[in-house]
């Protein structure tokens, strides 16, 4: 298996900074904004985006976590997964703009599960999607609103996101 590095630490930081500015711009500020990370790496990315938002506009960096494990449509065919923690910021999501954050957008099935999970926690005014990498190959009609990098890949390639908080290294690679 060969791996090619496509994003290095500075590239990831730049992409997350751009995404954060785009979120604030599209929301017309940080009011009624909640950032929810999808475990595992989406949570780390959501916290980074929240910190950037907070540095730009204090009070706009409300961050939480949304576990989608029990909402997935592939549970029967996947190895056993332990549910992660769901944490919704104080005040809930009703009437807010929720930005779901994940590391890689591929088939769209994880995001479909996230939308189902979100419905069990309230009724946001709007839901947006931010991803570090969009690799194409959608199986569902789902599109990211904020994308760090579009990386068209073949179906037999794999995008691997490694983040310092989880992996001790910071990079995005394509493995074939």
CATH of the domain at 147: 3.40.50.2020
Q: Look at residues 122, 66, 148, 71 and name the one whose alpha carbon lies nearest to residue 99.
A: 66
So what's the pLDDT on residue 75? 66
Look at the chain and report how many structural domains it folds into. 1
Within a domain: residue 28?
Answer: yes
Query: ∠ CA(138), CA(148), CA(142), 5° rounding?
Result: 25
Question: What span, in angstroms and rounded, lies between the C-alpha atoms of 125 and 99?
Answer: 11
Name residues whose C-beta falls within 8 Å of residue 104's C-beta, 6 or more positions apart in sequence. 131, 132, 133, 134, 135, 159, 161
Specify the pTM: 0.95
Question: What span, in angstroms and rounded, lies between the C-alpha atoms of 33 and 161?
Answer: 26
Within a domain: residue 163?
Answer: yes
Within a domain: residue 149?
Answer: yes
Q: What is the pLDDT of residues 121-173, one digit of tens each?
A: 999 999 999 999 999 999 999 999 999 999 999 989 999 999 999 999 999 99
So what's the pLDDT on residue 82? 74
For range 27-38, the mean pLDDT: 97
Domain that residue 8 falls in: 3-72+88-175
So what's the pLDDT on residue 162? 98
Sheet holding 3-7, edge to edge: 3-7, 171-175, 158-162
Within a domain: residue 80?
Answer: no
Within a domain: residue 81?
Answer: no
């Amino acid at each position: 298996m060969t791996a090619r590095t496509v994003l290095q630490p500075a590239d990831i930081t730049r992409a997350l900074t751009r995404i954060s500015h785009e979120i604030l711009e599209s929301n017309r500020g940080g009011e009624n904004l909640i950032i929810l990370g999808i475990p595992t790496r989406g949570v780390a990315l959501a916290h980074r985006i929240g910190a950037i938002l907070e540095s730009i506009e204090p009070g706009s960096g409300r961050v939480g976590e949304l576990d989608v494990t029990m909402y997935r449509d592939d549970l029967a065919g996947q190895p056993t997964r332990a549910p992660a923690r769901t944490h919704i910021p104080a005040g809930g999501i009703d009437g807010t703009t929720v930005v779901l954050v994940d590391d890689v957008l591929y088939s769209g099935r994880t995001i479909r599960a996230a939308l189902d999970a979100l419905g069990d926690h309230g009724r946001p005014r709007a839901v947006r999607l931010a991803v570090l990498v969009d690799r194409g190959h959608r199986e569902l009609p789902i599109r990211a609103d904020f994308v760090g990098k579009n990386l068209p890949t073949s179906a037999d390639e794999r995008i691997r996101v490694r983040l310092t908080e989880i992996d001790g290294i910071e990079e995005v690679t394509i493995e074939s």
